[in-house]
Structure 1
Amino acid sequence: MEKQLATVYVKPGEADRLVAGHPWLYDNSVLKVTGEVPDGALVQVRDHRRRFLGIGFYHSGSKIRVRLLAPERVTVDTAFFEARIRAALEVRRRHLPEASSFRVVHAEADFLSGLIVDKYEDVLVLQISALGMEQRKGQIVEALQRVLAPRAILERSDVAARKFEGLPPVEGVLAGDWPAPPRSAEQTGSAPDDPPSTPAQSQPASSQAALLPVRINDLVFEVDLWAGHKTGLYLDQQVNYRQVAQWARGARVLDAFCFWGGFGLHAAQAGATHVHMIDQSESAVQTALRNAARNGLADRCSGEAANVFDWFKAHTQTRPGEKLVPQFDLIILDPPSFTRTRASVPDALRGYKEIHVRALKLLRPGGVLATFCCSHHVDARTFLDVILSAAYDTRKILRRIATFSQGPDHPVIPMIPETEYLKGYAFELVR
């Protein structure tokens, strides 16, 4: 353990959350700091009565003044990271024993605040959003090599949260042999956290040299680890892909906000008569169709590049006296987050309601609506209320048949609300 750690004292009444397991000590909860503390250094945390609470990384310029790592005194070195990564990997092997691609480290949920590591077959992608982790990147890479012996380790530390830690975005190859990121690649269109005015998921054109075949359940997806969202692909839905696909046999399916075809291709594989996939990004749709062909599903899949809101509006409009005929037996709504902040939640809820009103009009009686929300700022109860409000407005009766969450490789620690973001429901349309 580092000797003579500086001490951060917590204000009266502010320690309970830390004792309960939350790793963030906010700047407005700090009573005082003893000694000169370089940003990123390890400190000990005590309550106002001098009782020891744990150790963590300090950052004077961040709203999160200390990110706790452990409630006991430990040495933070390569061996520490190796032990934490092995413990996290054991959770994945226990709950996703057949998966070859999954999230290895889910930041706070694996007690490594500010660190994400995703495994795509034999390639790892690392994402850092905290200064303390950034300063120990070498130790983290060494630990990952010891535990997983990957072909390559890439870094995609391009998340907006880095700016709050005074860190610039960084991309590159940290270890192994892999094509470097194209310098000209830029995100175009909307990103996963864009508001509902531009909701689609898009990405730059793929670099053929960086494509990696990734197996999700029994399907293979073409992934560009430099161009895809997050660290390349959405891994948090792989359990839900199978669960939703159970309602696809013999069904005509609409996969809205399809991205690279995760839900749509699982539905086609499960026996859907036809799957139509929509995304605002032309490159996303083309990738989804290539994935369909790769898996021998092209004859049952079609794709269309369109703004999903506009598409729904165009397909639910009727002339005076004309009755709308529902077209689909299974509709999947998996949009990007419609809000980055709590302040924009009302606008986001209007966006969520709009797509549900339109989707319900296109769903046949007895059909299934599977719908998801990945915004941390919209809780499950609020999301459910939006769906029920849309059902009321369209005079539909829904029967809830399933509730969804993020996969077990994205574990949720209830005392750390920030670890939970994905929620979803499946409803059968009664009438």
Structure 2
Amino acid sequence: MDLFKENAVVRIRKGAGRSLKAGGAWIYDNEIEAIQGEFENGGLVRVEDFDGYCLGHGFINTRSKLTVRLLSRRKDAVIDEVFLEQRVKAAWDYRKATVDTSSCRVIFGEADFLPGLVVDKFSDVLVVESLALGIDRLKPVILDKLLQVLAKDGVNIRGVYERSDAKVRLQEGMERFKGFIGEPFDTKVEIVENGVRYLVDVEDGQKTGFFLDQKYNRLAVQNLCRSLAPERVLDCFTHTGSFALNAGLAGAGQVTGVDASLLAVDQATENAVLNGLSDRVFFLCADVFDLLPKLEKDGERYDVVILDPPAFTKSRSSIKQAVKGYREINLRGLKLVKDGGYLATCSCSHFMDPELFTKTIREAASGAHKRLRQVEYRTQAADHPILWAAEESYYLKFYIFQVCDEK
């Protein structure tokens, strides 16, 4: 298959493609009137409106309900190696201008106009996640161009690992895969973020190994704890211990991190040792939903409580159940905060939109008989850019509140 050959035209139904025309990158199967010409799934196509007006160029996969993903909206765009190099360079230049690039997300799918592709940089290692057939076929060229762009900037990469093991690949007609791209290397990578050292397991850690999107939210908690000097901090859904370690580094007296995964707890404990914090940052393997009521019953109270749960919903159909989960953990977490203490709480589900998340926290505060004073509201780090035309790119909501008893 010629990667850059474009023989077919996808024609949009009259009145369809509203999201695409508003700046989005997706065309669903029920928006397509006809496909003219020969094509292979994963190949490039020209996209036209019902009247023949060119809407752009992208790749097609009729096995997926999300049938076309747009690479360019320009009528005269030529998708080739030069085009892909320009996309990669633009993504890297943006990171250099906005974030600490020692470890960062270098490519964030649709928000970097390379739909379906994620590339994270952990020190001198790249981790790749490919979620669409078309981008999967272009992936070798994109990675080659990325390595060249980084090398020209003096950034040498010692290895690339692929974590394309998400279930969504099955919907694209692809197998789930993880493994080395190129020569094998030690998949335990040490990074430094906000002055905290971490060992990132790019082979077996969650997602690509570490959640870079919370970088500056962790720093916000570190700054709060440095000013507050809290005696006790509780970090729920701690994963590799990141919020807990930021609190410990800032001088918190005793920090407890909780996660249901024993692997995560072991990694977090290892990270505490790495930072010389094992005397006051501890980790517990437990179900947070079971633990919080027990801590409340036992009369435990904390100066700072942090809630960083996984996404409780990945579809619109399960939002109601997710709301119950978010309301429950926030209610329980609020009851554990001392009067005048602080709560950091977040949601990483795109479907839990900011308005609904805010409403859910408000209901939890009412149920816990607490008054909230907002310190700050944040989203994901700038290396996970929010593209206003792509709603799915805005997913992380993060609040810090001061919590006061009703008076």
SS in 1 for 2:182: strand
Structure 1 unmatched ranges of 5 or more: 179-208, 319-323
Contact preservation (8 Å) 2:379, 2:397: yes
Contact preservation (8 Å) 1:157, 1:171: yes
Partner of 2:272: 292
Q: How does 1:132-151 map to 2 (within 5 A)?
A: 132-149=134-151, 150-151=157-158
Query: Structure 1: which 4+ aligned runs deviate by more than 4 Å?
Result: 1-4
Q: How does 1:320-339 map to 2 (within 5 A)?
A: 324=299, 327-339=301-313
Distance 2:265 2:276 in 1: 17
Contact preservation (8 Å) 2:6, 2:43: no
Q: Does residue 172 of structure 1 match 2:175?
A: no
Amino acid at match of 2:337: L
TM-score (norm 1): 0.88
1:4, distance to aligned residue in structure 2 (A): 5.9
Say how many residue pairs are matched: 394
Q: 1:99 to 1:269 in 2, by over 3 A?
A: farther
SS in 2 for 1:156: strand
Query: In the alignment, which of 108, 127, 134 is matched to residue 129 of structure 2?
Result: 127
Contact preservation (8 Å) 1:331, 1:359: yes
Q: 1:64 to 1:166 in 2, by over 3 A?
A: same
1:137, distance to aligned residue in structure 2 (A): 2.5
Query: In the alignment, which of 72, 79, 82 is matched to residue 79 of structure 1?
Result: 82
Per-residue CA shift, 1:196-234, capped at 9, x if unaligned? xxxxxxxxxxxxx42111111211101111011111111
Partner of 1:12: 14
**Which stretch of structure 1 is more off in the superposition, 169-178 or 368-377?**
169-178
Distance 1:153 1:68 in 2: 26
1:17, distance to aligned residue in structure 2 (A): 2.5
Partner of 2:292: 312
1:68, distance to aligned residue in structure 2 (A): 0.5
Partner of 2:350: 376
Per-residue CA shift, 1:373-430, capped at 9, x if unaligned? 0111111111111111111112111111110201101000111101111112111112
Amino acid at match of 1:133: I
SS in 2 for 1:397: strand
Contact preservation (8 Å) 2:7, 2:38: no
Contact preservation (8 Å) 1:247, 1:368: no
Partner of 1:55: 57
Per-residue CA shift, 1:132-175, capped at 9, x if unaligned? 11122221221122122421111110112111100000112112
Q: 1:329 to 1:60 in 2, by over 3 A?
A: same
Per-residue CA shift, 1:9-55, capped at 9, x if unaligned? 11112244323210001110111111122111111011111111100
Contact preservation (8 Å) 1:247, 1:330: no
Q: Does residue 344 of structure 1 match 2:318?
A: yes
Query: In the alignment, which of 333, 348, 364 is matched to residue 359 of structure 1?
Result: 333
1:177, distance to aligned residue in structure 2 (A): 4.0
Distance 2:188 2:63 in 1: 38
Structure 2 unmatched ranges of 5 or more: 152-156
Query: In the alignment, which of 196, 199, 205 is matched to residue 219 of structure 1?
Result: 196
Distance 2:260 2:60 in 1: 42
SS in 1 for 2:263: helix
Partner of 1:405: 379
Q: 1:13 to 1:304 in 2, by over 3 A?
A: same
TM-score (norm 2): 0.93
1:77, distance to aligned residue in structure 2 (A): 2.9
Distance 2:308 2:4 in 1: 46
Q: Does residue 283 of structure 1 match 2:285?
A: no
Q: 1:135 to 1:4 in 2, by over 3 A?
A: closer
